[in-house]
Amino acid sequence: MKLIKTKKINLINIYLSNSYKKLNNFFIKKKKLILLDYNIYINLKNYFNIFFKKYNFLIFPNGENVKNINSLKIIWKYMIKNKINKNYNIIIIGGGVMGDLVGFASSTYFRGIDFCLLPTSLLSQIDSSIGGKNAINFFSKNTLGNISFPKFIFINYFIIFYMKKKEFKDGYSEIIKYSLINCKKLFFYLYNKNNIKKIINRSCYIKNKIISQDYYENNIRSILNFGHTYAHCIENNKIKQFTHGESVSIGIIFSLFISSIFYNIHKKIIIKILNIFIKFNFYIKNYLKFSNKMIKKIIFDKKFNNKINYILIRKIGYCVKKIINKKLLIFFLKNFYEI
């Protein structure tokens, strides 16, 4: 089992293993409550019963729709009725939705109760579980939330092989993002090799390194938004349903389009980046039409008046912030659709 650490002292302890056998070694407190994704429980019922049969379960349906204030009330009510207190460890098993929802519930219950994350999807293992962001949807995506870090994150990389292909692919969109903004070596490793343990290890290290320098998103952490500003518009559209990974891939390609204009990125580099998306079966073309609604969504999402700090890349492994005003952003979007 490997502990992923950065050189700088940080709040995030991430453990990487191919089993849950040694999980109990990390619990100081004896009492535990497990909150679990329903799909994970059904698909891996026998597997989980081996390691977690002693503990109480609270099972939630899967999907983004469960991230609401009513689900919070159910969790808080259950905790109060069952006299859950600060002597408990809350164990969260599932993907990003469960992490967001239960992390928020735990961090606000009794002004904060210890919780740990056992992410079960590739996307949650290398992205959403790391960083302490917890939220629910209220009129819009992730409008209510906080930043509160888990006691630790325990990643069982073996469990992701039970995932659907689409869910697996979603994780790779974020892995490609890490390589483009921070790690040229990872980019070319993805081109030639596919050792999932090494890829998860490196991806967690990169995000942990960035988070450790900016816990509360005041500065450097914003580079993790690379590709996401436009991706949120795609993901939330009602015309065609895109997964998070597909949306991020198109968002990254849009950012690459802007980057090539500002920084004159060589054509060979652009082709290499596009080819890595093709390798992992992502769209490299956006099938949605330009609309003013998209601009409004970007404005609401990033809360800017006439300009926005957009994350771009100068070259593979090196990103920058660029201030783009509203008129210029509209110009880029319109031209992007004509490619």
**pLDDT (tens digit, 9 = 90+) per residue, 12-69?**
789 998 888 878 777 776 788 999 988 888 887 777 777 777 788 899 998 889 999 9
The pLDDT of residue 7 = 42
Taken in order 148, 89, 201, 119, is the CA torsion positive or negative? negative
- The CATH number of the domain holding residue 236 is 1.20.1090.10
Does 142 share its domain with 129? yes
| 153, pLDDT greater than 90 | yes
What angle separates helix 244-263 from helix 228-235, to the nearest 10 degrees? Answer: 140
User: In this model, does residue 257 exceed pLDDT 90?
Assistant: yes
d(CA 27, CA 34): 13
| pTM of the full structure | 0.89
Q: Provide the pLDDT for residue 302.
A: 53
- Contacts of 149 by beta carbon, 8 Å cutoff, 6+ apart: 11, 12, 132, 215
| Percent residues over pLDDT 90 in the chain | 53
Last residue of a domain, one of 162, 184, 211: 162
Comparing CA positions, the residue from 51, 109, 46, 45 lying closest to residue 59 is 45
Q: 256 and 267 in contact (C-beta within 8 Å)?
A: no
Cα gap 195→174, rounded to integer Å: 16
> Last residue of a domain, which of 134, 162, 190?
162
| Residue 153 and residue 181 in one domain | no
Say if residue 124 is in the same domain as residue 250. Answer: no
Q: What is the CATH number of the domain that holds 61?
A: 3.40.50.1970
Model pLDDT for residues 309-339, shown as the tens digit of each residue = 889 999 999 999 998 887 888 888 877 765 5
- What per-residue confidence (pLDDT) applies to 334? 77
Regarding whether 149 and 108 lie in a shared domain, the answer is yes
Q: How confident is the model at residue 79 (pLDDT cuts 50, 70, 90)?
A: very high
Q: Are residues 142 and 177 in the same domain?
A: no
Q: What is the mean pLDDT of residues 262-276?
A: 93
Both 176 and 291 in one domain: the answer is: yes
Residue type, 39: N
Choice among 150-154, 234-238, 323-327 with the minimum mean pLDDT: 234-238
Instruction: Tell me the backbone φ, ψ of residue 72, rounded to 5 degrees.
Output: -60, -45
Residue 11 in this model has a pLDDT that exceeds 60:
no
- The answer to whether residue 8 scores a pLDDT higher than 60 is no
Is the pLDDT reported for residue 107 higher than 50? Answer: yes
Instruction: Identify the domain containing residue 274 by its residue range.
Output: 165-337
Three-class DSSP category at 65: helix
Q: Mention every residue, 6+ apart, whose C-beta is less than 8 A from residue 165.
A: none
132 pLDDT above the threshold of 50: yes
pLDDT at 329: 82
Q: In terms of domains, do 33 and 90 share one? A: yes
Domain co-membership, 173 together with 145: no
Number of folded domains in the chain? 2
167-210 per-position pLDDT tens digit: 888 899 999 999 999 999 999 999 888 899 999 999 999 999 99
Query: Mean of the pLDDT values across residues 117-121?
Result: 94
Residue-level pLDDT at 6: 46
Structure tokens at 320: 């920058």
Alpha-carbon distance of 55 to 82, in angstroms, equals 13
Confidence of residue 74 (pLDDT cuts 50, 70, 90): very high
**Would the pLDDT of 286 be above 70?**
no
- 28 and 113: one domain? yes
Q: What SS3 class is residue 183?
A: coil
% of the chain exceeding 70 in pLDDT: 87
Q: Are residues 97 and 229 in the same domain?
A: no
Position 219 pLDDT exceeds 90 = no
Rounded to the nearest integer, the mean pLDDT of the chain is: 86
Residue finishing a domain among 128, 162, 196: 162
User: Are residues 112 and 209 both part of a single domain?
Assistant: no
Closest CA to 243 of 144, 96, 100, 136: 96
DSSP one-letter code for 18 = S
Confidence check: pLDDT of 9 > 80: no
What is d(CA 310, CA 323) in angstroms, rounded to the nearest whole number?
6
Residues 155 and 184 in one domain: no
